[in-house]
Structure 1
């Protein structure tokens, strides 16, 4: 999708989904849209704390975020790995059943007290006085002090529930830096802003922020895209100037000072016009456009050199400057235009490629086409004008007699024309040899990035918890990364993928069994040493875990270099075929152990509701599902407002009961008559395997 089509496409998707949302089953949440998926966070900072709680550290990071938003051209600023606080009401199902209480009734009573509802406005003369009703919860202490009336009985909430304040359990995502728990601050830039200027302003603001932070709060730079861009552009610019210097030197040596000076003046003129057209088309100086300039530099001087050499040749045979300049246009303008158009045509497939790769490299075609066409215009119009001004009025022939090279060339030319069949055969053979030689050339459209980062993708089995993902990634950090002299720093994203710190980064969806480690080595040589060592360690010590070490990619993300899609009539057949195919390709020594992007079936506990019996008691499947969700995972029943945070109040069973099937079987369900019965009376339990989505 082209950049200009992204916003209209999202709008169309939203409209289409809204049109069919009425057809979704009752109870479906969403769908939810992330139309800012392509946002790039070029600067990432990690905040660590020594002796502070996660909430205290988050308060400092939120304060820094507020200050960063004041920097000109700042876009989105998001926190990474911040742990949300939660207040847990942990009930004992056995105790509630023994007291004859109903957990749903307790929850309803709490929600009614904490609800924010309009209380009216008093009109008193010229004033309007709003009415406010108290009772909302302000902390976990206000919850502990609540006296509830359920079924004409009074009791304190703390008598039937353990009330604790902590953090989301299990967490949805975690962030670590250099082996420490941390909170990340990902900073984006507004569109069309200057990244280098934004980077300078951001660094200046961060220096002020660092001076105000207390002792114990550490701030670490995880990613700094402005510095990377400045280095990359400087490298390409340096290569461009080197190419210009080489071309100028060759021009002066081969053509002489005056003729070489004409070519020397043509080059900056062509570049100046090309830069003007690029600015008009909105093409900035980036990796692709600078590469296109370097490619075209060797071509754009050809036309000017041809024009100057033609003028010199005509002056040597006795023409005056005006006649020599006119001859250049009449005899070479259209042949040079034909050659220029043929060269430009070679890049048309890139310009017309309607794909992600085509969009990424489109400026290659545009810049080459513009620069070559401009060079032709300069060669046929400005170069003769410069020649009339700079070249002498008359010139002697450089050689009265043909030189050795000219004489040799003439003999070869005459012989080739005389034996034309041999010339044709030799040409065909050389062409065939060139085609065969292409097989020896490495074929790679987008080479790996020359940046020092390594990315490790972690894919654990489908049923793995985020705690298991964290344990394995922490063990990897200690075994391979901490103290490694080739590594500058590293960061770990647990339960989610890394944020998009470069445009071409392949962001992965959040999952408890997924994580990514971003490793920044000290050099390219260090990166090349670390990568095979990590692959061997992961292969030997993390058996059963799909951990893939990869480099950043320059072009559109591809992922694993060899990928196959296996199809079939049903799920089991597809899995069987995939296993057989994996066994076949595993015999190739150049391929590592194959993996599957469709994970293994996950184990689920199926609750089969006896519908007739449940219906007689006034119990529905929805009631049972809600009760199970509250018991096992916990359900948010209300919220406590604490400063700028909304803290969820979560009702769930106690830890010893949450993982017990016996607890679920004995879970009390209210019936239509007001009595409670165990879940086992209206449902059967069994395990089964379910295909992953």
Structure 2
């Protein structure tokens, strides 16, 4: 106060700043005109808002769960059906070493999980693997600045590894997708029908349509065919020629896998007793075909003489939903919002893919399914909430 009395001028004139005087000179006449023609101004303002909303709304994107950077990456890998556990472990090790060598400043740890644990909380075959990548703090990165950019570089690095398909996600994001919709990807195009071969062919058509849509990533068709199966087709004319009962051939073929013969009792414990042919007799179609069968005359002929034996591709997995066979085309969305991407996919599939007659149809799941449900709820909840607010204001002020 003492310094203020010495330094500040004695007579202080109260004046508005020049900028404020200019604003008032423009604003006050407009305000007076607005208050004079209230109805016209309200109608004009509502019209402008309505037109602006109509122009902007179609261009607005929509997401169900915002994508966060978790500091970790998850790779879902798929190999051919029938891949052995040893081969899965070998390729997993190859992927881990390649990633640690290529990104030493970005990746802290890499570990893999294949097959089904003793407590089968997440059952899957040995040809399926989850690879978890723990990242270092971002300030020390040299080959990428964001996690999305690092994911792209990891994808490019793994393209040299043959025989595997990769789907990129994050640990929490993957589990949320799985809990919400039963799939690990952002979008799941579900194709329903009766014939597995037709489903596979149509799923491939849908995949080809989706691969050209901007924003698609990690596009893959659910692996349902590819399991090696030994097929034995009996030649009825040859069985009649040699006088061999068809039942004898069927029992022999059954023993290639295993045939139950009884039980072994050890005190209070019972163990099944099964028999099967030695490994050298069932290692290949040729070995199976060399098994000797007795004829009615006592002669012995090889199985290949009375049956066609070959390895074919059979179904590895048959999934059903609501009592129908189902195959899923999955993908993630990068660089654009989920809502407009799915709308473009729906339009392209409807225009370019013709469903066969019968019980064949397409459904869309994943996060998009939850997004549609949320939008439907909001269309009811938001108007009701606005109406309640209006009623409360009216009840409070009476006008």
Residue in structure 1 matched with residue 290 of structure 2 by the alignment:
666
* 1:423 matched to 2:42: yes
Distance in 1 between residues matched to 2:261 and 2:110, nearest whole Å: 36
> What SS does the aligned partner of 1:548 have?
strand
> What SS does the aligned partner of 2:43 have?
helix
Distance in 1 between residues matched to 2:74 and 2:117, nearest whole Å: 10
Q: In the alignment, is the contact (CA less than 8 A) between 1:456 and 1:548 conserved in 2? A: yes
Task: Check 1:536–1:484 CA distance in 2 against 1; reply closer, same or farther (3 A cut).
Answer: same
* 1:583 matched to 2:208: yes
Cα displacement (A) at 1:569? 7.7
Equivalent positions of 1:645-660 (< 5 A) are 657-660=281-284
Q: In the alignment, is the contact (CA less than 8 A) between 1:637 and 1:651 conserved in 2? A: no
* 1:518 matched to 2:132: yes
Task: Check 1:429–1:689 CA distance in 2 against 1; reply closer, same or farther (3 A cut).
Answer: same
Q: In the alignment, is the contact (CA less than 8 A) between 2:281 and 2:291 conserved in 1? A: no
Residue in structure 2 matched with residue 51 of structure 1 by the alignment:
none
Distance in 2 between residues matched to 1:491 and 1:480, nearest whole Å: 11
**Higher RCO (C-alpha 8 Å, min separation 6):** 2
Distance in 1 between residues matched to 2:47 and 2:262, nearest whole Å: 78
Residue in structure 2 matched with residue 456 of structure 1 by the alignment:
75
Residue in structure 1 matched with residue 52 of structure 2 by the alignment:
433
* 1:472 matched to 2:91: yes
Distance in 2 between residues matched to 1:468 and 1:421, nearest whole Å: 77
Cα displacement (A) at 1:454? 1.4
Q: Deviations over 1:427-459 (max 9, x none)?
A: 221243245444565421212344223111111
Q: In the alignment, is the contact (CA less than 8 A) between 2:96 and 2:111 conserved in 1? A: no
Task: Check 1:471–1:437 CA distance in 2 against 1; reply closer, same or farther (3 A cut).
Answer: same
* 1:624 matched to 2:233: no
Equivalent positions of 1:432-581 (< 5 A) are 432-438=51-57, 441-481=60-100, 484-496=104-116, 509-523=123-137, 527-538=147-158, 540-551=159-170, 552-553=172-173, 554=176, 556=180, 558-566=183-191, 570-581=195-206
Q: Deviations over 1:497-539 (max 9, x none)?
A: 9999xxxxxx75421321111222234777445322221122x
Q: Deviations over 1:54-73 (max 9, x none)?
A: xxxxxxxxxxxxxxxxxxxx
Distance in 2 between residues matched to 1:422 and 1:509, nearest whole Å: 64
Q: In the alignment, is the contact (CA less than 8 A) between 2:166 and 2:218 conserved in 1? A: no
Task: Give unmatched runs, 5+ long, in structure 2.
Answer: 1-20, 139-144, 319-399
Distance in 2 between residues matched to 1:498 and 1:435, nearest whole Å: 56
Q: In the alignment, is the contact (CA less than 8 A) between 1:461 and 1:599 conserved in 2? A: no
Q: Deviations over 1:294-336 (max 9, x none)?
A: xxxxxxxxxxxxxxxxxxxxxxxxxxxxxxxxxxxxxxxxxxx
Q: In the alignment, is the contact (CA less than 8 A) between 1:607 and 1:685 conserved in 2? A: yes
Task: Give unmatched runs, 5+ long, in structure 1.
Answer: 1-403, 501-506
Q: In the alignment, is the contact (CA less than 8 A) between 2:210 and 2:216 conserved in 1? A: yes
Number of positions where the alignment pairs a residue of Structure 1 with one of Structure 2: 276
Task: Check 1:649–1:550 CA distance in 2 against 1; reply closer, same or farther (3 A cut).
Answer: farther
Task: Check 1:577–1:662 CA distance in 2 against 1; reply closer, same or farther (3 A cut).
Answer: closer
Equivalent positions of 1:84-95 (< 5 A) are none
Q: In the alignment, is the contact (CA less than 8 A) between 1:461 and 1:600 conserved in 2? A: no
* 1:594 matched to 2:208: no
Q: In the alignment, is the contact (CA less than 8 A) between 2:110 and 2:131 conserved in 1? A: yes
Task: Check 1:676–1:453 CA distance in 2 against 1; reply closer, same or farther (3 A cut).
Answer: farther
Distance in 1 between residues matched to 2:280 and 2:265, nearest whole Å: 25
Equivalent positions of 1:129-528 (< 5 A) are 412=31, 415-416=34-35, 418-438=37-57, 441-481=60-100, 484-496=104-116, 509-523=123-137, 527-528=147-148
Q: In the alignment, is the contact (CA less than 8 A) between 2:294 and 2:301 conserved in 1? A: yes
| Correspondent of 1:607 among 225, 229, 232 | 232
Residue in structure 2 matched with residue 686 of structure 1 by the alignment:
310
Task: Check 1:485–1:420 CA distance in 2 against 1; reply closer, same or farther (3 A cut).
Answer: same
> What SS does the aligned partner of 1:456 have?
strand
Distance in 2 between residues matched to 1:477 and 1:544, nearest whole Å: 16
Q: Deviations over 1:636-676 (max 9, x none)?
A: 997999xxxx999997666655423333223467999x999
Q: In the alignment, is the contact (CA less than 8 A) between 1:636 and 1:650 conserved in 2? A: yes
Equivalent positions of 1:48-63 (< 5 A) are none
Task: Check 1:490–1:499 CA distance in 2 against 1; reply closer, same or farther (3 A cut).
Answer: farther
Distance in 2 between residues matched to 1:481 and 1:498, nearest whole Å: 29
Larger relative strand fraction:
2
Q: In the alignment, is the contact (CA less than 8 A) between 1:454 and 1:520 conserved in 2? A: yes
Q: Deviations over 1:13-53 (max 9, x none)?
A: xxxxxxxxxxxxxxxxxxxxxxxxxxxxxxxxxxxxxxxxx
Q: In the alignment, is the contact (CA less than 8 A) between 2:80 and 2:226 conserved in 1? A: no
Q: In the alignment, is the contact (CA less than 8 A) between 2:232 and 2:310 conserved in 1? A: yes
